[in-house]
Amino acid sequence: MIPFNKPYLHGRELVYIAQSVATGKISGDGVFTKKCHDFFETRYGFKKVLLTTSCTDALEMTALLLDIQPGDEVIAPSYTFVSTVNAFALRGAKIIFADSYSDHPNIDPNEILKLVTPKTKAIVVVHYAGIACDMDSIMKIANQYNIPVVEDAAQAVDGYYKERPLGSIGTFGTFSFHETKNIIAGEGGLLAINDERYINRAEIIREKGTNRASFFRGEVAKYGWVDIGSSFLPSDIIAAYLFAQLENLDDIQTRRKQIWQRYYDNLNKSIVNSEIKLPKVAGYSTNNAHMFYLVCSDLEQRTLLIKHLKENGVYAVFHYLSLHCSEYYQGNYAGQNLVNSDLFTDNLVRLPLFYELTNEQVDYICEKIISFLNV
Ligand SMILES: Cc1ncc(COP(=O)(O)O)c(C=O)c1O
């Protein structure tokens, strides 16, 4: 069976883990955490970054930093992972779901504009498949109404919008290093803080509500409880694994882009006249090759395609289920129908994409898709 995803070691992960253990300090903010922080701040120019245990945690930190209160409204896409909005629901926010474009799962800024009210306290956008949202339009709305923007860049490491790194444009950017992402650490995340007014409090929230980070820098004589917070910082062992991947980011990205392009070229020739659609990349966005997906014409076709691939030893998977229709939220949802979010819920299928996927495997998967269409 060709798996959908396969976590891998690029080379130095275990060496760095051993080095981390040898330092005698494997809790958070050790040597490798600092190396990871430096990498992101230098390469992408983020004002300040903090490693977290997951993107979910980074999102939860943004909800705390923005002081989201019960009854506040937060606009977000419905076609996304639970954590994008759960972080805000945890603070009692009302989630106002906005629809995607008809030809891409990213949030449509025109839909955001319709949903802004005086209670809107945040706009959360997701760069689906690492493809940038239309950030100029989104920031225009945010600036007009003075609303902070959180970029959920879980899938968007090394992605750019008009040459600006994703995660650096809104107030905050959040990244994931879960084993299914381009750059992995098993579980792991990063918060990028682009507005320096939030830096000090972010350090406190990440350290259980204490000013321990200031203490270790020698800025205060002792540390204690100064705010609310939680334990959002990962062990340095996680950072050691992550740093070995970051050092090889260009190589990893090059290979993923080759795989993505091979899928595209193989399929483009053959399915151009079929009802199945290939992924779109907006002109203002780079493609970080996080995901290769197809959009089938309906749920039945997608079910049959997934079955056909499985019978031929290929594990392809669907993705999100519209959150406004979820078991947890549907009772609270009184908004409009979100037809595009529902369309991707039913029709989108993701193909295997991981560093070690071979060209032969890509060709084989494409052959099976084409044979399915010709039946
Ligand atoms: C858009 C999006 N946001 C957030 C997350 C959560 O990331 P993590 O697993 O690092 O908490 C995911 C996970 O896949 C995601 O796809």
pTM of the shown model: 0.97
- Tell whether ligand 1 has an atom less than 6 A from the beta carbon of residue 152: yes
Ligand 1: residue of 62, 176, 288, 322 to mutate (most ligand atoms within 8 A of CB) is 176
Cβ neighbors of 70 (< 8 A, separation 6 or more) are 91, 92, 93
CATH architecture of 249-373: Alpha-Beta Complex (3.90)
The radius of gyration of the chain's CA atoms, rounded to the nearest angstrom, is 21
**Ligand 1 centroid, distance to 295 Cα (angstroms):** 21
Which two three-digit tokens encode residue 4? 């959908």
- Tell whether ligand 1 has an atom less than 6 A from the beta carbon of residue 290: no
**Ligand 1 centroid, distance to 356 Cα (angstroms):** 22
Cβ neighbors of 92 (< 8 A, separation 6 or more) are 68, 69, 70, 71, 72
- Tell whether ligand 1 has an atom less than 6 A from the beta carbon of residue 81: yes
- Tell whether ligand 1 has an atom less than 6 A from the beta carbon of residue 178: yes
What is the CATH number assigned to the segment(s) 13-246? 3.40.640.10
What's the number of CA atoms in the CB half-sphere (13 Å) around residue 28? Answer: 16
Are the C-beta atoms of 174 and 183 separated by less than 8 Å?
Answer: no
Tens of each residue's pLDDT in the chain, 375 residues? 999 999 988 889 999 999 999 999 999 999 999 999 999 999 999 999 999 999 999 999 999 999 999 999 999 999 999 999 999 999 999 999 999 999 999 999 999 999 999 999 999 999 999 999 999 999 999 999 999 999 999 999 999 999 999 999 999 999 999 999 999 999 999 999 999 999 999 999 999 999 999 999 999 999 999 999 999 999 999 999 999 999 999 999 999 999 999 999 999 988 876 789 999 999 999 999 999 999 999 999 999 999 999 999 999 999 999 999 999 999 988 888 999 999 999 999 999 999 999 999 999 999 999 999 876
User: Would you kindly state where each structural domain of the chain is located, as residue ranges?
Assistant: 13-246, 249-373
